[in-house]
Structure 1
């Protein structure tokens, strides 16, 4: 099983491939959704807007990459 970085790397390498494995895409999509749900829950648990802003500063780029990959995979899968 890949970690988040591995899943994102796999998607960057796979997204233009005509032979992309849809089952593998669904597996990656499920892991990305799980990561995003956990991230969103953890962010919501930060007390006050300042700590949420700090959270965004630390994890914002990663969150954006995950959200983009989710949208792209869902588009390919027609989800």
Structure 2
């Protein structure tokens, strides 16, 4: 009689463990597939190439530079 009860308890525990494992696979199937298909972020830093273009000032012959008065510098 003890052998029959022990076998029944062992078999029930085995079925409970197997059911738990299968239930976890059923619940987390999508997350496991997403984890297996995940591509890690590359470790290399992205290289940005910037080109700055600006217009150069055109020299004008009409603009004259006035000399600073000598009195200002002696003050």
**Do these two structures clear the TM 0.5 threshold for a shared fold by scoring above it?**
no
Higher RCO, Cα 8 Å, sep 6+: 1
Structure label with greater radius of gyration: 2
TM-score (norm: length of structure 1):
0.33
TM-score (norm 2): 0.34
